[in-house]
Amino acid sequence: MILMTGTAGKTGRAVIRALLAQGEVIRALVYRPVDGLNVQETIVGDMRSPTILNQAMQGVRAVYFIAPNMSPDEFEMGRLAITAARSAGVEQFVYHSVLHPQIEAMPHHWQKLRIEEKLLESGLPFTILQPAAYMQNIMAHWSRIVDQGIYPIPYAAATRLSLVDLQDVAAAAATVLNQPAHYGATYELAGTNPLAQTDVAQILSQVLKRQVQVKVMSLDAWKRDADAAGLGRYQIDTLVSMFRYYDRFGFAANPNVLSWLLGRPPTTFDEFIQRVVQEQSQ
Ligand SMILES: NC(=O)c1ccc[n+]([C@@H]2O[C@H](COP(=O)([O-])OP(=O)(O)OC[C@H]3O[C@@H](n4cnc5c(N)ncnc54)[C@H](OP(=O)(O)O)[C@@H]3O)[C@@H](O)[C@H]2O)c1
C-alpha cells in the first residue's frame, strides 16, 4: 500500500490516477472528507499532526508526500512526515518537491529545499521529484484566452519558462514508486526547454486558430485580483516573489531526465493544448 498526502489537490488527483492504472493500492490522507478519489482507504486529518501522520504511515510500503501549494507550514509538515515514516519503517519516501528548490528568493522553493535536506539526513530510501511549472496552470486563464484572445501574465512577455505536463509528472511518479532502482535519486522533471511567453501565445494562436496575445499586467493589478479572489497573504506574497524572480531570471530546465524516465519524449506544450481542445470538444 502507498500513502499519499495532499491528495485532493490537482497534483494528488493526477498521481492517484497514474498509480491506480498500474494497480497500486492507495491510502489517501485528506484534509477534509472529499468525494471521487476512488482510493482503497482514506484518512481525514491535518498533516501538521504527528498523531495523524503516525496513524497514516502504519503498514504502508511507501509514501508519496505532497505538501499543499504555498503553505507557511510546509517545512514543518515535511519534517513531521519524515519522522513518522522513519518510525513506521516505510521502505520508500517519495517527495514531490519543485524544480530548483535552491532559490532562496522564492519562499515555497526554500521550504522544499529544507525538506530535501531533512530527507537526505533521515536515512530513509528516498526519491525526490522536482517538477517545473505545470502546463495545466494556464487553465486558470482559459476562458480569457479562448474568448478574448488574451493571455495575462504578471511578468515580461520575453520571460522564458520551462513547463511540464502534470500527466507526465504523474507517470514519472508511478514509475519511481514501482522500482527500487530509483532509491536515492533526485530528478528534475521538465517537459520543455524554456519557452518565451510570446512563444506560448504563438502556440495558443496556432492550435486555437485565433489570435492570442500576451497581456502583461502590473504586480499591483495582479495583487488586487488575487485579494479579491480571496487568496491569503502568505500565498500572495509568495507568488509575487515568484513572479519577480521569473521576470528577472526566467526559470529554465531541460527535458532529458523526464524523457529517460518516461521512455518517450515528454508532452510538448503544443500537444498539451491540442489535448485540452480535444477534451473540451467531447
Ligand atoms: N502548480 C505547479 O506548477 C507546481 C509545480 C511544481 C511543484 N508543485 C508543488 O506541488 C504541490 C501540490 O500542489 P497542488 O496545487 O496540487 O496543491 P493543492 O491544490 O494546494 O493541494 C494540496 C492538498 O493539500 C491539502 N491540505 C492543505 N492543508 C493541509 C493540511 N494541513 N493537512 C492535510 N492536508 C492539507 C489540501 O486540502 P483542501 O483542498 O481540503 O484544503 C489540498 O487538497 C505543492 O507543494 C506545489 O508547490 C506545484
Pocket test for ligand 1, best of 69, 111, 130 (most atoms within 8 A of CB): 69
Dihedral angle sign, alpha carbons of residues 179, 20, 166, 67: negative
CA 160 from chain centre, in angstroms, equals: 19
Instruction: Summarize pLDDT for 132-177 with one digit per residue, the tens.
Output: 999 999 999 999 999 999 999 999 999 999 999 999 999 999 999 9
Is the separation of the CB atoms in 199 and 142 below 8 Å?
Answer: no
C-alpha torsion angle, residues 12, 13, 17, 22 (rounded to 10): 20
149: left (phi over 0), alpha (psi -120 to 50) or beta: left
Instruction: Summarize pLDDT for 105-120 with one digit per residue, the tens.
Output: 999 999 999 999 999 9
CA 227 from chain centre, in angstroms, equals: 23
Residue 48 CA to ligand 1 center (angstroms) comes to: 14
- The residues lining ligand 1, judged by C-beta closer than 6 Å to any ligand atom, are 6, 8-12, 31-32, 46-48, 66-69, 96, 98, 108, 131, 133-134, 137
Pocket test for ligand 1, best of 10, 27, 31 (most atoms within 8 A of CB): 31
Confidence of residue 282 (pLDDT cuts 50, 70, 90): confident
Instruction: Summarize pLDDT for 15-74 with one digit per residue, the tens.
Output: 999 999 999 999 999 999 999 999 999 999 999 999 999 999 999 999 999 999 999 999
Backbone angles phi, psi at 195, to 5 degrees: -110, 130
What mean pLDDT is reported for the chain? 97
DSSP characters over 15-79: HHHHHHHTT--EEEEESS--S----SEEEE--TT-HHHHHHHHTT-SEEEE-PPTT-TTHHHHHH
Q: What is the mean pLDDT of residues 263-276?
A: 98
To 5 degrees, how large is the angle CA 241–CA 246–CA 251? 125
As a whole number of angstroms, the distance between CA 14 and CA 170 comes to 6
* Percentage above 70 pLDDT, the chain: 100
pLDDT over 90 at 217, yes or no:
yes
* Percentage above 90 pLDDT, the chain: 98
Is the separation of the CB atoms in 108 and 98 below 8 Å?
Answer: yes
Task: At 167, list the grid cell.
Answer: 500527466
Q: What is the mean pLDDT of residues 229-242?
A: 96
Confidence of residue 231 (pLDDT cuts 50, 70, 90): very high
Q: Give the number of the atom of ligand 1 that is nearest the alpha carbon of residue 10.
A: 16
